[in-house]
Amino acid sequence: MNYRSITYILGWIMRVEGAFMLLPVIVALIYGEDIWTIYLICALLTLAAGVLLSRKRKGNFQLFAREGYVAVALGWVVLSLIGALPLWLTGDIPHFVDALFEIISGFTTTGSSILVDVEALSRGGMFWRCFSHWIGGMGVLVFLLQIIPLSSGQTMYLMRAESPGPSVSKLVPRVRETALVLYGIYIAMTVLEIFFLLIGGMPLFDTLCTTFGSAGTGGFAIWSDSMARYSPYLQIVVTIFMFLFGVNFSFYYLLLTKRVKEAFQIEEVRAYFGIFAVATVLIAFNILSQVGNLADSFRHAAFQVSSVMTTTGFATTDFDKWPEFSRTLLVLLMFIGACAGSTGGGMKVSRVLIYLKTIKKELAFLVHPRSVKVVMMDGKRMEHTVVRAANIFLITYLGILALSILVVSLDGSDFTTTVTAVITALNNVGPGLSLVGPMGNFAFFSDLSKFVLMFDMLAGRLEIFPLLLLFVPYTWKK
């Protein structure tokens, strides 16, 4: 294990977080809040510590797969611990465990909240809480790849450890340029959403916080009723952008390079579009009698399907009161999630396709034992290592899910609350059902359950294995 290279990367993460922490300082000053001093002190101390840790000294700074995974996992832990400090020190969230839960939920773009009265939060704290979605959406390490002076081979280990999905491919030959393309698309779509929300009459502060939540597919709202108070136009805009941020960013790159036919040949994207359309229609007709008219029924259905499938977590209504069929379908969508290579969470549509294709292959093998079948994706043979990794991911995922449900059940909450709380944390969705529904919160859980859910949120965002490596003894051997 090369500890120098890991320390070096952690230093850069702290430098970036310290710089980002200056933004709530500005917001607090604009709104005349005294908390700006606490954010400023936290920012300067984080920057100073980051500069010290990221100073290159003599020695070996080689970064391989093990160091890459450990640096990413530790990076997210450090990011969260530091990010929770100002929320705690300002008194916005008096209990440190709660502050840590809230900021981990923010950075992992989960959106689960312990806040009972979100409107009571300071504007500076509200901004930092929502901005954490935008930071975590694309990934802080992807951002760092543009500025850290490492070789292309080394940076690929970082990108592979942090990027969501079963495999990572470079859009352009150099990893640094790939990171630049990804962030370019991310920023452009963010600006576009801000524009459309502003022309719809949404206040600037609301616009920024809502955009951070939908761009990062996080879902922290600044009102207790989430998006219910906004106009149908604003809800439709957010629906569209949540859906768009759940698409594999490779799709947009192909569109930008005028390879439209190749873009729509991506099986995962076609399946994502199909699942969204079918689920929206089914739920719209299922809730029609409850909503009253077809237009509102489709608007609420499309919003919730887009929100849950992309694991954003916004809500226009309390879907926990919908018919059992719609509630069950939404829970299933929590598992599927968005596309790989997007800002969304869940198992990813690509993995679901791999599982379905693997089942089809095994059924064909039972009928024709001597036949040779391979799993194909986008017209190309899927490497055995990718299929194997997807299968191992599923086994590990189900194991963590079951164990987490067992531990959280010690709190004595009802079955629906316990199960959906874990599902929503591990899939980075946000709201669940019953007590953790869209109009509920996670404040009533014990500290033990909160730590389990925090672990689940980090594991879900980092695709499980980078975080698990921290607990394996041989990871730390030189």
Q: What is the pLDDT of residues 416-461, one digit of tens each?
A: 999 999 999 999 998 999 999 988 899 999 999 999 999 999 999 9
Q: Which of helix, strand or coil describes residue 62? A: coil
Residues of the chain with pLDDT under 50: 152, 168
Check residue 451 and give its pLDDT.
97
Nearest 5 degrees, angle CA 418-CA 421-CA 423?
110
421-450 residues labelled b (16+ CB within 10 A) or e (exposed): bbbbbbbbbbbbbbbbbbbbbbeebeeebb
Beta strands in 23-106, from DSSP E residues, in sequence order:
none
CA 207 – CA 453 distance, rounded (Å): 29
Give bridge partners of residue 381 from the DSSP assignment. Answer: 376
Check residue 164 and give its pLDDT.
58
User: Closest Cα to residue 65, out of 149, 185, 198, 168?
Assistant: 168
CA 338 – CA 213 distance, rounded (Å): 15
Check residue 67 and give its pLDDT.
81
What are the CA-CA distances from residue 273 to residues 7, 217, 279, 305, 341 (Å)? 42, 17, 10, 11, 15
CA 287 – CA 290 distance, rounded (Å): 5
Check residue 258 and give its pLDDT.
85
Query: Residues 232-243: pLDDT tens digits?
Result: 999 999 999 999
Check residue 305 and give its pLDDT.
96
**The two three-digit tokens of residue 6, written as one number:** 């890991």
**The two three-digit tokens of residue 270, written as one number:** 């076609």
**The two three-digit tokens of residue 29, written as one number:** 């000053």
Instruction: Return the C-alpha torsion angle 78, 50, 133, 251, nearest 10.
Output: -110
Check residue 386 and give its pLDDT.
82
**What count of residues does the chain have?**
478
